[in-house]
Structure 1
Amino acid sequence: ETLQIILPYAVGLSIVGLLESLMTATIVDDLTDTTSDKSRECKAQGIANIGVGFLGGMAGCAMIGQSVINIKSGGRGRLSTLVAGTALLLMVVFFEAQVSLIPMAVLVSVMIMVSIGTFNWGSIRDIKKYPITSNLVMISTVIVVVWTHNLAYGVLAGVLLAALFFANRVGHFMYVSSDYQESDDTRNYQVVGQVFFASADKMLAAFDFKEAVSNVVIDLNRAHFWDITAVSALDKAVIKFRREGALVEVRGLNEASETIIDLFSVYDKPEEIDKVLGGH
């Protein structure tokens, strides 16, 4: 019961913590012209937060504001982070009364200046130059974060939109060409591109199932199948051609596509064909 209560909050905190740490690492890399091992940072953060939990402490992550202030104050190495952390610990433990005298307005002004310094103003200035899909992702992410006060929701919305736009764009690069060999009455189809849920229907629509030919060759040498939707489209194409009396040959599969087709295709399994075509 306790786990059910704390799990949603734990997952949310872990996502936000990882995202902020990754963003902080990216900003620090840009400011210092260095390259950080982000995978190592995430692993270290996870291990440290697990250990803190056993000690009754509070989980933490890299902070953009403090990191930027540290860098702009001249800090470049690990010693700077150690000094900053030690100073913060001393202020919280031994100088709590003095720190509490600092007006909230001062802290807010510091964070505002950090925000001004870290914000990419060029993203607004050049917004007309960017693709409309990139602008939609950026604006949607900002709106969701501001509306929900939750960075995880904003990033999730941005990732989902970016994935949808990417799938739609890649799907347009898939095409099917064909040629007819009169000598042996064969129609050759060459499928080129990435075949997945966004382009499977386009591939299927490119086949002429009513053409009266003796042989059909589907050449997949320049195609890649990604999911079961693509496999299902290939199944339907082969089965429909066979129902029209044509001999169908599928050739040119790469290793990855052959693996997924062998696992999920049914065009060579008569007992499964009716299920694919809805029993018709």
Structure 2
Amino acid sequence: SVPFTWETLTIIFPYALVLATIGLIESLLTLSLIDEITQTHGKGNQECVGQGVANTVTGFFGGMGGCAMIGQSMINVNSGGRGRLSGISAALFLLCFILFTSSLIEQIPVAALVGVMFIVVIGTFEWSSFRIIRKVPRADAFVLILVSSVTVVTDLAVAVVVGVIVSALVFAWQHAKHVSVNKSETKEGSSLYEVDGPLFFGSTSNFLEQFDVASDKDDIIVDFARSRVADHSGLEAIDTLAERYLNAGKTLHIRHLSPECRLLLEKAGNLVEVNVIEDPNYHVASDKLD
């Protein structure tokens, strides 16, 4: 008898969240695997909603939550099951086993069940990973090994979170080196900097290092036609650059910014002059009259 109080909820909520995450991840992975085998396209959103509703309802009757299982799904598909009837039949037979033949199932040795699980693991493991481990980028190979190791040590939910974080950091590190600034001079005698690549928290240092405030003309234009400001760190980098030119008595112009970037740059105030006149809105001409 567990008291239905807020303290009880605070105790079980972290475990419930982890189990729900693991269930959703395993169900979506199973769905992706079955789609690849059967050359079909399942509905992930429908699967998540159905699983959540079913687990919530079964909890009121003292039942245990569940999710799609890779092993059972693989056996089902390899046996020829393709439609909804195969899943319904599997559920009904499992219900009959529990209600009427539980005494017989208890006589199955645990060693036999372990053998079955090993066969399932051998059949579902992606053995091709060992063949391509030396061909894929080192960062991808590291993430693959890391996620597999964390899954064994902790659980699938923690492994997925760790994998996403590490992959995001690797992505940011690689793209931080892709920003480049090409310097030239306009016909009017202004210094022109053309930025190529995304400007975000990982590339701000490299971005600022490519400007020569001392040797530039009194009028400087920074062209973002081939770049995008991705986050607040990029805005602060532009603000810092504008302040440097302002302290040097020079004027900075920004052009070809996307509308979203111009809205974000309003935070910079008078430090940055955004030249919207040189950012025309193009319209397509057509001979067809309304």
Q: Same fold (TM over 0.5)?
A: yes
Confirm whether residue 176 of structure 1 aligns to residue 181 of structure 2: yes
* Unmatched 5+ stretches in structure 1: 270-280
1:276 counterpart residue number: none
Match of 1:159 among 150, 159, 164: 164
Confirm whether residue 50 of structure 1 aligns to residue 50 of structure 2: no
Match of 1:79 among 71, 85, 99: 85
Structure 1 residues 256 and 212: CA distance shift in structure 2, 3 A: closer
Does the 8 A contact of 1:197 with 1:227 survive in 2? yes
Deviation at 1:267, TM superposition (A): 5.1
Match of 1:93 among 90, 99, 111: 99
Match of 1:11 among 13, 17, 20: 17
Return the letter of the residue paired with 2:171.
Answer: F
Map residues 210-229 of structure 1 onto 2, 5 A cutoff. Answer: 210-229=214-233
Confirm whether residue 194 of structure 1 aligns to residue 198 of structure 2: yes
Deviation at 1:193, TM superposition (A): 1.4
Local SS of the residue matching 1:194 = coil
Confirm whether residue 36 of structure 1 aligns to residue 42 of structure 2: yes
The 10-residue stretch of structure 1 (247-256 or 231-240) with the greater mean CA deviation from structure 2: 247-256
Cα distance in 1 for residues equivalent to 2:54 and 2:247: 62
Return the letter of the residue paired with 1:218.
Answer: V
Cα distance in 1 for residues equivalent to 2:106 and 2:11: 33
Cα distance in 2 for residues equivalent to 1:122 and 1:212: 55
Report Cα offsets for 1:200-238 as digits up to 9, x if no partner.
111111111222521011111221111111110010001
Count how many residue pairs are aligned between Structure 1 and Structure 2. Answer: 266
Cα distance in 1 for residues equivalent to 2:181 and 2:53: 50
The Cα RMSD (Å) is: 1.5
Match of 1:131 among 131, 137, 144: 137
Deviation at 1:144, TM superposition (A): 0.9
1:119 counterpart residue number: 125
Does the 8 A contact of 1:220 with 1:253 survive in 2? yes
Cα distance in 2 for residues equivalent to 1:267 and 1:165: 36
TM-score when normalising by structure 2: 0.88
Does the 8 A contact of 1:235 with 1:266 survive in 2? no
Cα distance in 2 for residues equivalent to 1:267 and 1:218: 16
Task: List, as ranges, runs of 4+ consecutive aligned residues in structure 1 with deviation greater than 4 Å.
Answer: none
Deviation at 1:185, TM superposition (A): 3.5
Cα distance in 2 for residues equivalent to 1:260 and 1:90: 62
Does the 8 A contact of 2:246 with 2:271 survive in 1? no
Give the percent of matched residue pairs that are identical in Structure 1 and Structure 2: 38
TM-score when normalising by structure 1: 0.91
Structure 1 residues 75 and 130: CA distance shift in structure 2, 3 A: same
Return the letter of the residue paired with 2:249.
Answer: G
Structure 1 residues 191 and 111: CA distance shift in structure 2, 3 A: same
Cα distance in 2 for residues equivalent to 1:119 and 1:106: 20
